Amino acid sequence: MLAGALVVAACSSPSVTGIKVHIQSGEYLEAIHLADSVIANGEGSNAQVWYWQGRAYSMLRNWSGSAESFMTAYQLDPLLAADLTSYWPAFYNTAAGYVEEGRTEDAINMLNTGKEIVPERPEFDQLLGDIALSAVDYPEALARFTVSIELGTAEVARLQVQIAQSQDPAFTEQTIAENDRMIQGIVLSSYNAGAILKNMYINCEDSAVADEYMTQAVALYTTGLEADPSNADLMTGLAEFYILSEQYDEAIAIYDNALVAIDNGFQEGWLTEEDAAEMKAEVLLTRGFTFIEMERFDEGISALEQCRAQMGDTYQVLAMLGHAYFTMERYNESIAVMEQLTTKDGLTGAEYANTWYMIYANYIRLEKDTDALQAMLNAIEYDGSNADYYELLAQTYSTLGRNTQAMQAMEKAESLR
């Protein structure tokens, strides 16, 4: 088959013929060296020389050499695009290498050339989205991920038709693998796009625009779930949006589906027991919080205790339980949970500070102002630049009749704002 593909055309120049013969003989380095010599001796404008050099590089899996040669060939003769279509991985792999080397602009140029030659491949937009996301260019990243999802969805539809019509087992197996890979790309782009929209939604002050972000996010997550209905990460992302918009029943339904999906993933073998347990605990944690927000306290505590059984006494679990008991006005139980964190090693300064703040809030509700004062002083020890803490300290001093210290604390609060 290779020999047939390399039949020397009558119109080929002798140099191109020589390069092809080397390739046909498996002499790829010789083909590359001959192409270099030909280019150095005045045939640098011959697109065929660059094209066949790219072919030789691709046989050696030298992606950067292949892509750079193909790029030059395409620039010299855009009509070569049809011949370059099957070599799109060379452009993608080279760009990915450039990203690792910090050559961002070279990566972007390579990806845009690949897109121009093979516009239907979603991989180019996905990597362009990753680059924009790393640069904190959220609008560009969102646009690229969205295009990647659209192209990937169209490609999945095409592949599924081929799978349905195929009578060749080997071709069917290959196409199923490609279809699965394409679905993974859709899921990743959907998750990234959803995370960007979540950030934009949280920071948006215009309610009408925020609603648009919400609608767009739901549509993208839904597209991802249509591709992979059992993906727990996408379900969790969608549920978080429902929580932000206070659509708690919808969030709980999504979490219930996610728990089923995780169990199925473990039973089917694509999740390890450890990964399944970790994912399940994370879902239970947020599910418990959602129940608390809905004032379905017993279900919330039950979910959080299930999470605690799997994750142990982590900061996330105990802080959520403490918050739950506080919301339920079970202040002493909240204090008991939060005090476990004050003696726990390995927390960040912010986590220790927030723990003491929660203890302070409980004591205030119990009207134990002296205990509250000490808790706030402990919080400030871990976060001495928090103006809100000093303002609360001033209020507590004032309640205790310690007016001079109250004034000093308020002055400190104002100086930090």
Q: pLDDT tens-digit profile of 356-393?
A: 999 999 999 999 999 999 999 999 999 999 999 999 99
Cα 387 from chain centre: 34
Q: Locate 73 and state its tokens.
A: 């060939």
Q: Locate 124 and state its tokens.
A: 């180019």
CA distance linking residue 58 with residue 310, whole number of Å: 49
pLDDT digits (tens, 9 = 90+) for 171-226: 999 999 999 999 999 999 999 999 999 999 999 999 999 999 999 999 999 999 88
As a whole-number percent, the residues of the chain with pLDDT over 70 amount to 97
* Residue 270 reports pLDDT greater than 80: no
Best CA proximity match to 394, nearest among 371, 415, 376, 381? 376
* C-alpha distances in Å from residue 204, one per residue of 137, 163, 244, 260, 295: 16, 44, 12, 34, 27
pLDDT digits (tens, 9 = 90+) for 221-267: 999 988 887 787 888 889 888 888 888 888 888 888 888 888 888 88
Q: Locate 3 and state its tokens.
A: 């020999």
- The whole-number pLDDT of residue 34 equals 95
**Three-state secondary structure of 208-225:** HHHHHHHHHHHHHHHHHH
The confidence band for 12, taking pLDDT boundaries of 50, 70 and 90, is low
Best CA proximity match to 216, nearest among 234, 199, 194, 237? 194
Contacts of 120 (CB under 8 A, 6+ apart): 151, 154, 155
Round the CA-based radius of gyration of the chain to a whole number and report it. Answer: 30
pTM exceeding 0.95: no
Overall average pLDDT of the 137-143 stretch: 96
* C-alpha distances in Å from residue 57, one per residue of 14, 52, 192, 216, 222: 20, 9, 34, 43, 41
Contacts of 257 (CB under 8 A, 6+ apart): 235
Contacts of 296 (CB under 8 A, 6+ apart): none
